[in-house]
Structure 1
Amino acid sequence: MRRLTISFDNGPTPGDTEKVLDALASRDVLASFFVVGDEMAKPGARETLERVHAAGHWLCNHTLTHGAPLGRDEDAARVAREIGMAQDLLGPLSHPDRFFRPNGEGHFGKHLLSAAAVAYLAAGGYTVVTWNNVPGDWIEPRDAWPDRALATMENQAWSLLVIHDFLVGPMADTLTRFIDTARARGFEIVQDFPPSCTPMVRGTCGAHIVDVAMIEAAP
């Protein structure tokens, strides 16, 4: 059976994230939320994160500021700030595997992680999570993102979808329809990540790290 894993980036967004949670709950789906440190510090965000966690979804690190990708420079201090401070803000709500998704501006390349970033992640025992299905929920018409996601899914044995709670929340009906359609087409919705999208697991890089072109100098 083909698989689908759903993940959300760039939250939390109080008001919108809750709508996503309600939609997921209505379909008994567990997902992962890759959250940004600056967003976690906003009013109401902690309560939203606690609701995400209580519902059984995974909370994961998506940098402190979602600024320039970490492969654009070798500034070790910036790496520690972007990854470490976001992890500190997550605190006990973080998944034990310390899932981290780099900001890649939607595509793969050596801009994802510098050697300094890879070393920091390895030393901290992080698991790096990438993606293989980005349907562009910001592209007009925005409510057509499910069609774009499903088209990509048809050519993949296991899709790791990236959408955004602040965009999907206001049109949560598209999420429930998408889930219903995916299941009707025979996709099993799981919470785990496909191995091809985890080039580093608990601090250890897999042999396929070059396949996602992150960095050849990985430890």
Structure 2
Amino acid sequence: MLAFPVKIPIIIKRLFPKYIWEKTFSNKTLYLTFDDGPTPEITEWTLNTLKQFNAKATFFCIGDNVKKYPDILHKINQEGHSIGNHTFNHINGWINKTNSYVNNTEKAQNTLEKELGLEYFSTKKLFRPPYGKIKNKQARQLIKKGYQIVMWSVISYDWNINLSGKDCLNNVLKHTKDGNIIVFHDSIKAKKKLQYTLPKVLSYYSDRGYSFKSL
């Protein structure tokens, strides 16, 4: 059973209006996002694939991975993509105390700022909660600290071992609409399905006149 529906219902978006779920009036624009990197085994392949379609995206990075692979983080930045925070240790907000969760997020932010500089985050601090699981109190504290909490419109489920690459592709093609934020993962677990799905998604929507922008 999937933790979330592939496409987030309108009622959920209305219950949490302070979160970013999609962009409206985007004029045939989609927003690809990648969680869990940077990962040597797949992030650079992802960057090269995006470049083939002149596509920009947003990478929600785990602080510990940033610390291990700063060169890949800088490559993401140099190629014109946006970078957001995905906590330091990929922790689940539902099972962590608020202070621990906020501190872990801040630890990741400090790591990102050390690499990219404070100026990079002067206009926006993007944050996506791992698993999409965050308590209201945690969210309120992060918003007070200037974070924009970015959720999604459509999730590919590329990390799910019970789904095939074709399943993940169908998840995206069946449910995506203009202005949607789509979740992929540049992780080892998702590698094979991402390599199957991403080029086909880019090709399909490029052929139909869509562009891909970062948040």
Identity fraction in percent: 26
| Structure 1 vs Structure 2 CA RMSD | 2.2
The alignment status of 1:14 with 2:40, answered yes or no, reads yes
| TM-score normalised by length of structure 1 | 0.73
Letter in 2 for 1:30: K
In 1, the alpha carbon distance for the partners of 2:196 and 2:98 equals 42
User: Gaps spanning 5+ residues in structure 1: where?
Assistant: 193-219
Letter in 2 for 1:87: Q
User: Compared with structure 1, are the counterparts of its residues 34 and 171 closer, same or farther at alpha carbon in structure 2 (3 Å cutoff)?
Assistant: closer
In 1, the alpha carbon distance for the partners of 2:101 and 2:153 equals 24
Which has the higher mean CA deviation after the structures are superposed, 165-174 or 4-13? 165-174
SS for the counterpart of 2:65 is helix
2:71 to 27, 47, 51: 47
Residue 58 of structure 2 contacts residue 81 of structure 2 at CA under 8 Å; is this kept in 1?
yes
Aligned positions of 1:1-219 closer than 5 A = 1-42=27-68, 45-69=69-93, 71-76=94-99, 78-91=100-113, 92-93=115-116, 95-96=121-122, 97-103=124-130, 105=131, 111-115=133-137, 117-139=138-160, 140-153=163-176, 156-166=177-187, 167-168=190-191, 172=195, 174-192=197-215
Deviation at 1:14, TM superposition (A): 1.2
Deviation at 1:174, TM superposition (A): 3.4
In 2, the alpha carbon distance for the partners of 1:95 and 1:22 equals 25
Deviation at 1:118, TM superposition (A): 2.8
In 2, the alpha carbon distance for the partners of 1:159 and 1:180 equals 17
Q: How many positions carry a matched residue from both structures?
A: 180
In 2, the alpha carbon distance for the partners of 1:17 and 1:75 equals 30
In 1, the alpha carbon distance for the partners of 2:191 and 2:166 equals 9
SS for the counterpart of 1:99 is strand
Residue 79 of structure 1 contacts residue 120 of structure 1 at CA under 8 Å; is this kept in 2?
no
